[in-house]
Amino acid sequence: MARECPCGSGETYEACCGRYIEGGAHAPTAVALMRSRYSAYALKNADYIVATSLKDEKHASIEQAMKESDFYRLEILSHKKGGVLDRKGEVTFKAFYKTFCRTPQGEGVLHERSAFVRKKGRWFYDEENSTIL
Ligand SMILES: [Zn+2]
């Protein structure tokens, strides 16, 4: 049976974020990239996080963060620009997780306004211009 996409779109993983995370396609919009990066966190795919970050991310530290937390729900609250012809975009979201290794343990929420830039037809996450809310 096809599994549902972790991003909560209601689509199957293969028809949704899986196309970008494993299928080699590029997310066409900032929201699509945001969703697929969330799904990569949920599935603990550090390669995809590194490949879609503007900044050089440390693979090991992302893997460590993934070991410490399980992301289980995404809510996209709003977005600005980030369309197929835009150069920049913003997505505000809440990502719900449970932590094991860090204190305090338990449930947490990451509420962030993420910035994205499009370069040579590909969207990237721009951490420097993103804000934790
Ligand atoms: Zn998805």
Q: How far is the CA of 8 from the centre of ligand 1 (A)?
A: 6
Q: What is the pLDDT of residue 1?
A: 61
Q: Looking at the domain assignment, is residue 12 inside a domain?
A: no
| Residue 1 resides in a domain | no
Domain contains 13: no
* Strand order from edge to edge, sheet including 69-81: 69-81, 88-99, 106-119, 122-132
For the chain, the domain total comes to: 1
**In-domain check, residue 118:** yes
CATH number at residue 102: 3.10.450.50
Q: Look at residue 63 and tell me if it is in a domain.
A: yes
Burial 80-101 (b: 16+ CB within 10 A, else e): eebeeeeeebbbbbebebeeee
Q: Would you give per-residue pLDDT tens digits along the chain (133 residues)?
A: 679 999 999 999 999 999 999 999 999 999 999 999 999 999 999 999 999 999 988 999 999 999 999 999 999 999 999 999 999 999 999 999 999 876 778 999 999 999 999 999 999 999 999 999 9
List CB-based neighbours of ion ligand 1 within 5 Å. 5, 7, 9, 16-17, 35
Residue 15 alpha carbon to ligand 1 centre in Å? 8
CA of 21 from ligand 1 middle (Å) equals 10
**53 in a structural domain:** yes
